Amino acid sequence: MDNLLLLIPVAVVVVAWALNEFSRRRWETYKRKEDRYTKLLCNMSGFYVQPNSDKDELQELRSAFIEQLGYGWLYLPDELIRKGYEFLDAVRFGADSSDRDKEILLGEFVALMRKDLYGKRLLLWTATELEGKDFRHLKSN
């Protein structure tokens, strides 16, 4: 009986430690993804030409986006990589996609990032209900 009384606190400590480690790793994964997705989002602005845009800066942002998408093969979900390339196909020189189609593709890309970042919550409920059509690329003057 005394042995059982000693095992209970040890078991509680082990379970608490395991839950803490799980929580810490989940937080680290979230932060890592958030940092990578932030870089992708920042570089997306290279695909939107503003009247006073510096062409070299736009090219640098585009190249950085393509580079980050390439790195994505290490950590992005498959559907996110495919959507990224679909967006690049739509914005390449000579593509016949409308601006609205490009915006929807970019929105779908961003929505997939959010879905991956937030994941599933509480069994069937999702953390986000936003879709690609909800995305708007806005700039202040």
Count Cβ neighbours within 10 Å for each residue of 34-43 and write b for 16 or more, e otherwise: eebbeebeeb
Using an 8 Å Cβ cutoff, are 114 and 128 in contact? yes
Q: pLDDT of 40-61, one tens digit each?
A: 988 988 887 776 778 888 889 9
Structure tokens at 13: 């400590």
Q: pLDDT of 10-34, one tens digit each?
A: 888 999 999 999 989 988 988 999 9
Task: Give the residue with greater pLDDT, 4 vs 83.
Answer: 83
Q: pLDDT of 115-136, one tens digit each?
A: 888 876 555 555 666 676 776 6
How confident is the model at residue 123, as a pLDDT?
Answer: 55
The three-point CA angle 117-120-126 to 5° equals 100
Q: pLDDT of 68-99, one tens digit each?
A: 999 999 989 999 999 999 999 998 877 788 88
Question: 126: which DSSP letter?
Answer: B
Which residue ranges make up each domain of the chain? 30-134
